[in-house]
Structure 1
Amino acid sequence: MKRLFSFNDLKVRTSLIIVLLFFILALIGGAALGILSLRQNNAALQQIVQYQQAADALNTSLDRYKETQTLLGRALASYAQNVGSQDYTTLSSWVEEGAGVAQSLDGKTGYLLEQARMRLQSSQENFARYENLGSQVPELERGYKRIIQQYHALIANGVTPLMDFLQEGRISEFNSLLNSRVSSLEEDLYTEVMQQTLQQKDIVEGHAQREAKQYALVMQLVSVAMIFSFLIAVLVYWFLNRMVLSPLRRIDDHFSQIAQGNLTEVIDTTSTNEIGVLFKGLGHMQLELQRMVLSVRQGVEQIRLHAGDIYSGTVDLSSRSTNQVSAL
């Protein structure tokens, strides 16, 4: 009947290779886990950076827009001053419909209006950067599109006509558009921006929570891996002690017995690996030593027997010689 596999049949070289492969796989697994964790962290960090860059571009664009509003207000005040205090009255922060009209802009008003156009251009450039960055953030796609629509509507239907009206001195149309359309467009834009800011905050908090959970999971996996590695190390020690160290101690004991002249101790093993081969070689050496000692003993016995025969012959010859001498 064929004998089933036993650890005693496992080669020492094979066992060492298995242990080495285990630790290599453990290192590869740990490195893969670390790389995967770093990759996910890097992806989350890049996404957060994209959120921040898009938010910075949008906030800069809105700041430039507010500066445009301020410069338009100053330009309107300068224009009204140029017309003359007798031709207009103020209404709220702007002017009352029906104020007077100047034939041409004075230098200060023209300069302020040109500065407002430059601020508006800067606002549009930053908003174009926001459009480019926002397109890379799928989570904010809906709010991103609404903000783009509201911003372009505000610029095309609000700010640009206001500048044209002021440039042409059409204060009545300027005031009507400002009160009827621009304020509502601004409110819609700021509402969308606020909603996106809250949504972005929720997304970032979600990333932070996922990263915290992932960190906890990695720590748990590392703890389990450390415990598993410790158990494997104990198992490897037990295995090597049983397969290598203990047999080597037995072989040392056998050599000590042989050195003391004890050639009768039984050397037996069921292992077929390198240690088993060593045991078989030791047993063969002991058997050959037994045969050598037996042969020496047999030779000594033969020498003793022959020496006895020689002694008997010598004694007999001496006795006969004595008798012959006495007879003479």
Structure 2
Amino acid sequence: MRLLQNFTIRMVMLTILGLFCLLWSGVGLYSVHALSEVSEGNDIDRHLVRQMTVLSQGNDQYFRFVTRLSRAMDVKIGGGTPDFAPARQSLENMRQKLEEMKALSPGPMNPDISREVLSNWQALLEKGVVPQMQLAQQGSLTAWSEHASTVTPALSRAFGASAERFSHEAGAMLDNTRVMVDGKTYTIRILLITAVILGIAILIFTDRYLVAMMVKPLERIRQQFQRIAQGDLSQPIEALGRNCVGRLVPLLRAMQDSLREAVSTIRAGSDNIWRGATEISTGNNDLSSRTEEQAAALEETAASMEQLTATVKMNAEHARQASQLADAASLTAGKGGELVSDVVETMNGISASSQQIAEITTVINSIAFQTNILALNAAVEAARAGEQGRGFAVVAGEVRNLASRSAGAAKEIEALIGESVCRVAQGAQLVQETGATMDAILRGVTEVTTIMKQIASASEDQSKGISQVGVAITQMDSVTQQNAALVEQVSAAAAALERQTEDLQRSVQQFRLSASEPQQRVTAKAAPGVQRMASAPAQSTDEWVSF
């Protein structure tokens, strides 16, 4: 087995599998060839048996023909009616068997013997049996008897001799074929048993090889890994050859040496890390206290700025409300001016209507005067008419009375309209003066509105500026608080680093670097995680690493 240590497992396994495949391939090929020969021998055996069976059946049909024909001729000689049907059936069967024999010939048999059998059989059928049947049915008894005693027996003896030679030759061939089949079967059996034994031997060798080249070396490597896992780096590992498993040994040895160097370096540097972590923790504690003081001052400043911002916002809100009220007053004054203008126009319309009414009254007075004149003329004409015009005079008198009353009413209306026109003129004058006053008020309100808008805009800008200052101070306070939290986290991380350094020192002490060094069994405690006190700014999170 030691000679195989320098060969790869793949090469050895491929060689074993190649031998195994070569062995069974040879066995399989020879078995296929032998089975093919056995199959050919069985085919020859079946063919010869078939030929011998057909030959025997043909000979049997011949003897049946002779027997049945003899019986029929005995009946005919006795004076009865012979039945030639059985004899004809035997003759037909003999002819069919001859055709079957021709179809099977020559086969594996010697062609000369096969031709001789067929020739004698054909001669017996055509020259002996068929003429004998014809003579029995048509000819005289003497001719039939002579043919049956001389021609047919000679042909039958020749056919029997050739059939015997055929059977003897076929039997010899059957014996040879069966001997060959038995020999091949025995050879295949021996070959298969040998192949199975060799296969089992190959499997046993493969198992022993795998145990020696893989299982045991891997167990040694596992034990070495277990010693390394337990902290023992002092035990060397022996070489296991240059196969696939043996190539792991230099790598394992290099890993063990690297671990030994790394543990030595960690032991040397853990004290420096511990001292540095202690100094970092002390400095961070001082920085944390100063940062907390700065955060408190910024918090007070932020509170003051919030109060100032609230006051400025309130002033801006009041200025905005005053501006809105001034806008409303300006709109109301504008609407009042428009109403005064409408009143002036209405008073002017009333004055014009009064003038038109005065003119209509003048027309009515003129109509009444003319009616009075017409009534006077009618009275004069009625007086001239005498008795015929008395009724017309009465009517004219009534018309004069109505005209007088219309003239009086028109004078009264004219007087009232004149007085109304005077009052309307006075009202129009007052309304015009009121409109001028409303225009002055509107201009004043507009100026006040403009000033209030400017005040509100300035207050709003001031509020925005103070709000921005407050936001900046709030952000500074938030950043300071976050810095304080980060300082606390750094302090906690430094403390955790200090504890982890102590744990690391205890952990590396369990490694045994040399055979003379005692091994310490120390179980390192898991370092507690650092809990964040507040979320750090987005731009600062990438700079911190959890220890």
- TM band (smaller chain): 0.7 to 0.9
| 1:64 equivalent among 61, 66, 70 | 61
User: Deviations along 1:229-282, whole A, 9 cap, x unmatched?
Assistant: 232123212322232122212212322332343323334536454324432332
| Alignment match, 2:182 | 212
**CA distance in structure 2 between the aligned counterparts of 1:197 and 1:145, rounded to whole angstroms:** 14
Structure 2 partner of 1:317? none
Task: Tell me whether 1:73 sits opposite 2:70 in the alignment.
Answer: yes
- Which residue of structure 1 aligns with residue 231 of structure 2? 261
Partner of 1:126: 97
C-alpha displacement of 1:150: 0.8
Instruction: Kindly name which structure, 1 or 2, has the bigger radius of gyration based on alpha carbons.
Output: 2
Stretch of structure 1 that moved more, 146-155 or 172-181: 172-181
**Percent of pairs identical after alignment?**
20
Q: Secondary structure at the match of 1:266?
A: coil
Distance in 1, Cα, partners of 2:185 & 2:144: 58
Let me know the Cα RMSD of the aligned residues: 3.0
Q: CA contact under 8 A between 1:134 and 1:140: conserved in structure 2?
A: no
TM-score by length of 1: 0.72
Please state how far the C-alpha of 1:148 moved relative to its aligned partner: 0.6
Counterpart mapping for 1:284-323 below 5 A: 284-299=254-269
Unaligned runs of at least 5 residues, structure 1:
1-5, 83-105, 307-328
Counterparts of 2:195 and 2:21 in 1: how far apart (Å)? 14
- Residue 286 and residue 148 in structure 1: after superposition, are their counterparts in 2 closer, same or farther (change >3 A)? same
The match for 1:116 among 75, 87, 98 is: 87
Matched, 1:202 2:199: no
**CA separation in 1, counterparts of 2:156 and 2:86?**
21
Kept in 1: contact 2:61–2:91 (CA 8 A): yes
Which of the residues 102, 109, 130 maps onto 1:139? 109
Describe the superposition over 1:36-80 as per-residue Cα deviations: whole angstroms up to 9, x where unpaired. 444333322222222222222222222221121122212322332
Report the alpha carbon displacement of residue 10 of structure 1 after superposing the two structures with TM.
4.1
Letter in 2 for 1:128: E
Instruction: Rate the CA distance shift 1:170–1:251 in 2: closer, same or farther, 3 A.
Output: same
Q: Which residue of 1 aligns with 2:52?
A: 55
The alpha-carbon deviation at position 293 of structure 1 amounts to 1.7
The alpha-carbon deviation at position 151 of structure 1 amounts to 0.7
Name the amino acid aligned to 1:118.
Q
1:287 shift after superposition:
1.5
Q: Distance in 2 between matches of 1:213 and 1:41?
A: 10
Give the whole-Å Cα distance in 1 for the aligned partners of 2:78 and 2:106: 46
1:7-44 alpha-carbon deviations (Å, 9 max, x no partner): 44544445444444554555544544444444333322
Match of residue 42, structure 1, among 30, 39, 45: 39
Q: 1:136-194, CA deviations, whole angstroms, 9 ceiling, x for partnerless residues?
A: 2x234332221111111111221122222223323333232222221121112112222
Aligned residue for 2:232, secondary structure, equals coil
Contact 2:20–2:202 (8 Å) recurs in 1: no
Structure 1 distance, partners of 2:177, 2:139, is 53
> 8 Å contact 1:72–1:116 — kept in the other structure?
yes
CA distance in 1, matches of 2:242, 2:7: 8
User: How far apart are the structure 2 equivalents of 1:236 and 1:217?
Assistant: 28
Q: Is the 8 A contact 1:68 1:120 kept in 2?
A: yes
Contact 1:68/1:119 (8 A) holds in 2: yes
Could you give the per-residue CA deviations for residues 269-318 of structure 1, whole angstroms, max 9, x where no partner exists? 36454324432332222111111121133336778999xxxxxxxxxxxx
Rounded Cα–Cα distance in structure 2 between residues aligned with 1:304 and 1:68: 127
Between the aligned partners of 2:34 and 2:183, the Cα distance in structure 1 is 11
Alignment coverage as a number of residue pairs: 274
Contact 2:116 2:162 in 1 (8 A): yes
The answer to whether structure 1 residue 274 and structure 2 residue 274 are counterparts is no
TM-score after normalising by structure 2: 0.45
Q: Amino acid of the residue matched to residue 96 of structure 2?
A: E
**Could you tell me how far apart the structure 1 residues matched to 2:192 and 2:64 are?**
54
1:132 to partner: Cα distance: 1.3
Structure 2 Cα separation of the partners of residues 152 and 208 of structure 1:
32
> Partner letter of residue 54 of structure 1?
Q
SS in 2 for 1:275: coil
Is the 8 Å Cα contact of residues 27 and 191 (structure 2) preserved in structure 1? no
| In structure 2, distance between residues paired with 1:259 and 1:290 | 13
Structure 1 counterpart of 2:516: none
Take 1:73 and 1:259, find their aligned partners in 2: how far apart are those partners? 111
